[in-house]
Structure 1
Amino acid sequence: MTTTPQAPLADASGNADALLRPHAEQAFAHELAALAALDDRPRPPAWLLSPGAVVTYLLGGTLGDGTVITPKYVGPRRLVEVAVATLATDRALLLLGVPGTAKTWVSEHLTAAVSGRSTLLVQGTSGTGEDAIRYGWNYARLLAEGPTPAALVPSPVMTAMREAKIARIEELTRIPSDVQDALITVLSEKSLPVPELGTEVQAAKGFNVIATANDRDRGVNELSSALRRRFNTVVLPLPATEQEEVDIVTRRVAQLGAALELPPVPAAAEEIRRVVTVFRELRSGRTLDGRTTLKQPSGTLSTAEAISVVTQGLALAAHFGDGTLQPSDIAAGIVGSVVKDPVADRAVWFEYLEAVAREREGWHEFYAACREVSG
């Protein structure tokens, strides 16, 4: 039986700040309201904001009344514009990229800005069934009454069709191929037949779908050509420069630290840059100066993992250290991110420590801390 996500709620007092992880439309409600109040451009049917205002919400800016819109995504503006324009057509949007390129993050914020509701979500797994995309049944009522509208349990996709919202499908290529194809009629005909009731649900204007897929999952459950044609694909890249990635990590760590109510830790910039440097060098297989070729580990070493490493380090520094983020606070997190394969990755990591970290000026303390936790 499927369940339909309800409209997002705050805690019992109505305070979204009390939630561990508020939805985008809760956490940035003031920004969305400010954008809507000043947005005088045409809006597609059922959209809360114009396409231009949605792009501003994603990329950030300052409004005419002085309201600062914080960037939710750092990347090429044209990619965001193409994604938003796609949602204003009859084509669905597929966000593709390696792990950690903010596909889920962008999907959530797009639906929050367009529909005001990011919770109409199907989480793709190998066990996802057709009822997660189409509909299910309340079996107690089905046995008592037979197939009736009251016994039907709509999927998030069906709810989005009825309410002119955008449905999100995470990890589409993790869903079995025969289940994926349940989307074809929805995306091509904009209708969802319910043969048990002799009826159908037709999509209201404003309905669309955003799906995400990890391009490292190719060959798991490839999309059929018929389904792929229904999507416009936007590939989200890794951050182009070191500074861009440092800015992303710094911003997200600050947001997470505030949400987790971690004590503020000053002077974290040096260690954030160190984490980003290690990840970028191992990810690319060469040092930033291009002088040394490196073996690459099996993991992706994504920006999202860098954020986790620094956030964990902040917790260590705040609760068990002297209040300043030190190399010893990030060492264990980096080792855990790099060494996924205990044999091959371990060899890659020790080579990096000896050939790069040991010789780099100002990295002696980091080298020693990593050697200590690496065993």
Structure 2
Amino acid sequence: MSTDILRLAAEEAYAEELAALAETDEYPRPPRWRLSPQAVASYLLGGETRNGVAITPKYLGQRRLMEIAIATLATDRALLLLGVPGTAKSWVSEHLSAAISGDSRLAVQGTAGTAEEAIRYGWNYAKLLAEGPSPAALVESPVLRGMRDGLLVRVEELTRIPSDVQDALITILSEKTLPVPELNTEIRATRGFNIIATANDRDRGVNELSSALKRRFNTVVLPLPDSLDEETEIVRSRVESLGKALKLPSEPPAVEEIRRLVTVFRELRAGVTVDGKTKLKSPSGVLSTGEAISVLNQGLALAGHFGDGVLRARDLASGLVGAVVKDPVQDRIVWLEYLDTVVKERDGWKDLYRACRELA
């Protein structure tokens, strides 16, 4: 695989791990699954194969949630991953598809402009005008290809898709068929086909799922990390892997710096300091784990290209202020109050206070 590709698909980036798991996997596999459910769980949660190959954890959280998600995909119900931004919904759906189908690229990106053709099928209008409706003029959607080939299909941000377009999934999920009346035929789903959808908690009320569509999904809620240590480890591992992929000319950040950033995010998100003694106002943004990873990567880029390669408070503050202050009026008040009442008084945080105050 070319090293010039900015981001490899999961099945490409972790091909060796998937091959090692398949080689030692002796558990029963559902039809057309590349791995058994137990091996898929090992791929997601990490461990070591029987022949000594280390499997890096892709999801750090409750094992039972991943087991429920995997078991759902082995049934005739679709899977809906629900949570606030930055809780690894898309990351989990990509790795589930990679481990189960060996292809994570059959995906529909949900937006307000997503048309029904993205879920059903479209037409090559040049051929349609020249030949009339024909299989050659049909433009297959990712869902149609997944049904035909028995693969998982990802639908990202399902609740961003208009309600009438969402409902195109009802027949597909209930009858496991996709009618093509123009050709007087239908596509019948092959064993192995299923859908993993993701939805953002913050989008409730945008395009609510109909009750009929909700019944076709088993919903798994992905929570924010339970503890400071858990979230720090998630950020550390993702920043380390992204830093290698981006070839940033900087050293991996010290765990203490990551912990400071995660502490700020958790306190502002919860509206209370970690010791529970001081109540805080929360900014308008989500301050998710995913955003903490982005803040650190930005700091590493600054340290590598404009510093000595070591992440310092000044580099960290550059992304931190932008992550917290989304509303230049209200969020700025919240941020300055937090700096003066918490950061300024905390032992060992004076450098971060000065750097943030300078930018604020």
What secondary structure does 2:182 align onto?
A: coil
User: 8 Å contact 1:128–1:176 — kept in the other structure?
Assistant: yes
Q: Once the two structures are superposed, what CA deviation does each residue of 1:108-159 show, in whole Å capped at 9, x if it has no partner?
A: 0000000000000000000001000000000100000010010000100000
What is the aligned length? 360
**Separation in structure 2 between the aligned mates of residue 78 and residue 324 of structure 1, nearest angstrom:** 38
**Separation in structure 2 between the aligned mates of residue 145 and residue 267 of structure 1, nearest angstrom:** 60
Superposition deviation, residue 263 in structure 1: 2.2
- Choose the corresponding residue for 2:181, options 195, 214, 233: 195
Partner of 2:88: 102
The correspondence of residues 1-375 of structure 1 with structure 2, limited to 5 A, is 14-15=1-2, 17-266=3-252, 268-374=254-360
Superposition deviation, residue 266 in structure 1: 4.9
User: 8 Å contact 2:11–2:104 — kept in the other structure?
Assistant: yes
Superposition deviation, residue 268 in structure 1: 2.1
- Normalised by the size of structure 2, how large is the TM-score? 0.99
**Separation in structure 2 between the aligned mates of residue 325 and residue 291 of structure 1, nearest angstrom:** 30
Structure 1 residue runs of 5 or longer lacking an equivalent are 1-13
User: 8 Å contact 2:240–2:252 — kept in the other structure?
Assistant: no
**Separation in structure 2 between the aligned mates of residue 191 and residue 295 of structure 1, nearest angstrom:** 50
What secondary structure does 1:95 align onto?
A: strand
Superposition deviation, residue 267 in structure 1: 5.1
**Separation in structure 1 between the aligned mates of residue 274 and residue 126 of structure 2, nearest angstrom:** 62
**Separation in structure 1 between the aligned mates of residue 312 and residue 253 of structure 2, nearest angstrom:** 9
- Aligned partner of 2:179: which letter? P
Superposition deviation, residue 323 in structure 1: 1.9
- Aligned partner of 2:243: which letter? G
**Separation in structure 2 between the aligned mates of residue 258 and residue 20 of structure 1, nearest angstrom:** 11
Superposition deviation, residue 34 in structure 1: 0.4
- Aligned partner of 1:151: which letter? A
Q: Once the two structures are superposed, what CA deviation does each residue of 1:273-312 show, in whole Å capped at 9, x if it has no partner?
A: 1110000000000000000000000000000000000111
- Aligned partner of 1:219: which letter? G
User: 8 Å contact 1:100–1:302 — kept in the other structure?
Assistant: yes
What secondary structure does 1:117 align onto?
A: coil
User: 8 Å contact 2:65–2:220 — kept in the other structure?
Assistant: yes
- Aligned partner of 1:192: which letter? L
Superposition deviation, residue 196 in structure 1: 0.3
Q: Once the two structures are superposed, what CA deviation does each residue of 1:163-185 show, in whole Å capped at 9, x if it has no partner?
A: 00000000000000000000000
- Normalised by the size of structure 1, how large is the TM-score? 0.95
**Separation in structure 2 between the aligned mates of residue 338 and residue 177 of structure 1, nearest angstrom:** 32
User: 8 Å contact 1:266–1:323 — kept in the other structure?
Assistant: no
**Separation in structure 1 between the aligned mates of residue 158 and residue 253 of structure 2, nearest angstrom:** 40
- Which segment drifts farther, 208-217 or 319-328? 319-328
